[in-house]
Amino acid sequence: MRTLGEQPAVGGLDAVQRADVVQRVGAARSVSARAGVGTVGLPATDVPWSEELQGRTVVVKCGGSTLEDPALRRSFAQDVVELWQAGLHPVVVHGGGPQISSMLDRLALEVRFEAGMRVTTPEAMDVVRMVLTGQVQRDLVGAINAHGPFAVGMSGEDAHTLTAVRRPAWVDGRPVDIGLVGDIVDVAPDTVRNLLAGGRIPVVSPVARGADGQIYNVNADLAASALAVALGADRLVMLTDVPGLYADWPRSTEVIPLLTAEELETLLPGLAGGMLPKMEGCLRAVRSGVGRVHVLDGRTPHAVLRGVLTEENPGTTVLPDEAGESTRGAAPAAAPHEEETPA
């Protein structure tokens, strides 16, 4: 039987390994039931298998708006554990926008956004760091570890995992100062890989270090994208609190189900708010080797499990140009309403 220190080899499971995974699913469900923790509702024998994903890495970004809801946080944690139990390598990158804004309000510090990014003063940076690694990450690690000793929390600062430079921003063609907001220029994935090799689920806070030691607030979508590329992930999942990328907002709530990198690049200039860095991250990922990106509605219970293993979940999927097909979607007139508060 596979232990926490073992991982399935990339490229598929043999019959013995697959039987072992099913056995572990059943055992983990028994532990969860005894602990009073619900499961996804799929019997162990009905776990949706995707042979091509066995042993593959899946990076999942979860926003603070999803994690703020205890029920959705538990559902998300269950999904992540189910991915592990199904033989995948999940890596979680989390946001925490609402939680940061709440703490800034309590401390009477300004809450302001420009170009879809939080304006981060040195004082706000201290709050960002404290809330992401000391509150949001701890709650998420605890929710995952309710199912067993799986999750290990870390920051992008740790072992220089994420290195950033100050990110420029423009609004209506004019440069704006957004403070200590970083753009990732280098990823050192060895620490994350070592955790995966030990059978753990890394939970990463999107805080990065500059080469000069300056600490930066990094948009969680862009952090997840950069980490997915560095890890050679097969999938990147972006959870949001809208159904996906709208085709013609606000005139229509029709969601674009599928588009290629080239099509997304055409749409990108028309986006704004929180959807802009999210889709920028999607584009960077598929242009840099990630197999596909799913943008899913995190308000739907178990969106991750169904989106990755069964692909039943509605949403938007972005494919590399060579793998994609043309879609019917028209360019959005604007981004959706602020679907989640950026960190």
Q: Which residues pair with 293 in a beta bridge?
A: 236, 318
Q: Indicate the angle between helix axes 190-197 and 220-231, nearest 10 degrees.
A: 70
In sequence order, the 6+-apart residues with CB closer than 8 A to the CB of 7 are 55, 89, 196, 197, 199
Strand order in the sheet with 235-240: 151-155, 201-205, 89-94, 57-62, 235-240, 292-297, 315-319, 258-260
pTM of structure: 0.83
In this predicted structure, what is the pLDDT of residue 2? 36
In this predicted structure, what is the pLDDT of residue 36? 40
Low-confidence ranges of the chain (pLDDT < 70): 1-50, 311-313, 324-342
In this predicted structure, what is the pLDDT of residue 232? 97
In this predicted structure, what is the pLDDT of residue 171? 85
